[in-house]
Structure 1
Amino acid sequence: MLKQNLQQKLLQKLSPQQIQFIKLLQVPTVSLDTRIKEELEENPALEDISLTNINEPEELYPDRDPDEDKFNADEERGEMDEFNIDDYLQEDNVNDYGSRYDQNGEDEDERKEIPIAVQSSFFESLQSQLDLLPVSDKDFAIGKQIIGSLDDDGYLRRPIMNITDDLAFSQNVMAEDEEVEDMLKVIQSFDPPGVGARSLQECLLIQLRKKDVNDPIVKKAIIIVEDYLDEFTRKHYDKLERVLNMNSIELRGVVAEILKLNPKPGDSNEVSTKQMQVIPDFHISNNDGMLILTLNSKNAPELKVSRSYQEMFQHYDKASQKDKKLKEAVQFVKQKLDSAKWFIDAIKQRQQTLLKTMNAIMQYQYDFFLTGDDKNLKPMILKDIADRIGMDISTVSRVANSKYVQTEHGTFLLKSFFSEAIQTESGEEVSNKEVKKILEEHIGQEDKRHPLADEKLTDILKDAGYNIARRTVAKYREQMNIPVARLRKEL
Structure 2
Amino acid sequence: MLKQNLQFKLSQKLSPQQIQLMKLIQLPTQAFEQRLKEELVENPALEGSTEQEELYEGDDFNNSDDFDDDYGNESIDADDINIDEYLSDDEIPDYKLAANNYSDDDDDRESPLAAAMSFHQDLLNQLQTFIISDAERDIAEFIVGSIDDDGYLRRSIQDMVDDMAFTQGIYTDEKTVESILKNIIHELEPSGVGARDLQECLLLQLKHKTPTESVDLATRIIEEQFDGFTRKHYDKLLSKYGISQDQLKKAIAEVEKLNPKPGGSFSSSTRVTDNIVPDFTIRIVEGELELTLNGRNAPTLLVSRDYQDMLRTYKDSKDKSNAQKDAVQFIKQKLDSAKWFIDAIKQRQETLFVTMNAIMHFQYDYFLEGDELKIKPMILKDIADMVGLDISTISRVANSKYVETPYGTKLIKEFFSESMKNDQGEDVSTLEIKKILKTVIEEEDKSKPLPDDQLVDILKEKGYLIARRTIAKYREQLDIPVARMRKKI
TM more than 0.5:
yes
What SS is found at the alignment partner of 1:280? Answer: coil
Q: Which runs of 5+ in 1 are unaligned?
A: 56-67, 89-98
- Say whether 1:80 aligns with 2:80: no
Note if contact 1:155-1:197 (Cα within 8 Å) is conserved in structure 2: yes
In the superposition, relative to structure 1, how do residues 182 and 69 fare at CA in structure 2: closer, same or farther (>3 Å)?
Answer: farther
In the superposition, relative to structure 1, how do residues 437 and 303 fare at CA in structure 2: closer, same or farther (>3 Å)?
Answer: same
Please report how far the alpha carbon of residue 74 of structure 1 lies from its aligned counterpart in structure 2 after TM superposition.
5.0
- Say whether 1:219 aligns with 2:221: no
Note if contact 1:25-1:398 (Cα within 8 Å) is conserved in structure 2: yes
Note if contact 1:403-1:414 (Cα within 8 Å) is conserved in structure 2: yes
Please report how far the alpha carbon of residue 73 of structure 1 lies from its aligned counterpart in structure 2 after TM superposition.
5.7
In the superposition, relative to structure 1, how do residues 253 and 21 fare at CA in structure 2: closer, same or farther (>3 Å)?
Answer: same
What SS is found at the alignment partner of 1:406? Answer: strand
Please report how far the alpha carbon of residue 428 of structure 1 lies from its aligned counterpart in structure 2 after TM superposition.
2.6
Aligned match of 2:196: 198
Aligned match of 1:108: 104
Note if contact 1:102-1:296 (Cα within 8 Å) is conserved in structure 2: no
Aligned match of 2:129: 132
**Amino acid corresponding to residue 127 of structure 2 in structure 1:** L
In 2, Cα distance between the equivalents of 1:103 and 1:223? 71
Deviation per CA, 1:366-397, whole angstroms, max 9, x where unpaired? 11111101222222221111110001111112
Aligned match of 2:90: none
Deviation per CA, 1:278-310, whole angstroms, max 9, x where unpaired? 222111100121110011133765433444444
Please report how far the alpha carbon of residue 268 of structure 1 lies from its aligned counterpart in structure 2 after TM superposition.
1.8
Please report how far the alpha carbon of residue 181 of structure 1 lies from its aligned counterpart in structure 2 after TM superposition.
3.8
Question: How do 1:230-249 and structure 2 match up within 5 A?
Answer: 230-249=227-246
In 2, Cα distance between the equivalents of 1:114 and 1:102? 28
**Amino acid corresponding to residue 110 of structure 2 in structure 1:** E
Please report how far the alpha carbon of residue 270 of structure 1 lies from its aligned counterpart in structure 2 after TM superposition.
2.5
**Amino acid corresponding to residue 184 of structure 1 in structure 2:** L
In 1, Cα distance between the equivalents of 2:100 and 2:258? 45
In 2, Cα distance between the equivalents of 1:16 and 1:148? 46
Note if contact 1:155-1:199 (Cα within 8 Å) is conserved in structure 2: yes
In 1, Cα distance between the equivalents of 2:176 and 2:311? 69
What SS is found at the alignment partner of 2:22? Answer: helix
Aligned match of 2:348: 350
- Say whether 1:444 aligns with 2:442: yes
In 2, Cα distance between the equivalents of 1:103 and 1:158? 63
Q: Which runs of 5+ in 2 are unaligned?
A: 79-94
Aligned match of 1:263: 260
Q: Which moved more, 1:77-86 or 1:284-293?
A: 77-86
Aligned match of 2:60: 71
Deviation per CA, 1:69-115, whole angstroms, max 9, x where unpaired? 77366589557343478979xxxxxxxxxx95989987533511123
2:392 to 376, 391, 394: 394
**Amino acid corresponding to residue 109 of structure 1 in structure 2:** D
Please report how far the alpha carbon of residue 419 of structure 1 lies from its aligned counterpart in structure 2 after TM superposition.
2.1
Aligned length: 466
1:291 to 289, 292, 297: 289
TM-score by length of 2: 0.83
Note if contact 1:45-1:340 (Cα within 8 Å) is conserved in structure 2: yes
Aligned match of 2:49: 49
Note if contact 1:30-1:277 (Cα within 8 Å) is conserved in structure 2: no
1:434 to 432, 457, 461: 432
Aligned match of 1:423: 421
Please report how far the alpha carbon of residue 330 of structure 1 lies from its aligned counterpart in structure 2 after TM superposition.
4.4
Aligned match of 1:92: none
Note if contact 1:365-1:378 (Cα within 8 Å) is conserved in structure 2: yes
Note if contact 1:102-1:298 (Cα within 8 Å) is conserved in structure 2: no
In the superposition, relative to structure 1, how do residues 459 and 72 fare at CA in structure 2: closer, same or farther (>3 Å)?
Answer: closer
Question: How do 1:304-315 and structure 2 match up within 5 A?
Answer: 304-315=302-313
In 2, Cα distance between the equivalents of 1:244 and 1:388? 66
Please report how far the alpha carbon of residue 194 of structure 1 lies from its aligned counterpart in structure 2 after TM superposition.
1.6
Aligned match of 1:58: none
Note if contact 1:150-1:156 (Cα within 8 Å) is conserved in structure 2: yes
Deviation per CA, 1:399-445, whole angstroms, max 9, x where unpaired? 22221111111222212212222223233322222222221221111
In 1, Cα distance between the equivalents of 2:233 and 2:464? 33
**Amino acid corresponding to residue 292 of structure 1 in structure 2:** E
Identity rate of aligned residues, in percent? 53
TM-score by length of 1: 0.83
Aligned match of 2:453: 455
What SS is found at the alignment partner of 1:293? Answer: strand
**Amino acid corresponding to residue 287 of structure 1 in structure 2:** V
Note if contact 1:101-1:296 (Cα within 8 Å) is conserved in structure 2: no
Q: Which moved more, 1:392-401 or 1:126-135?
A: 126-135
What SS is found at the alignment partner of 2:149? Answer: coil
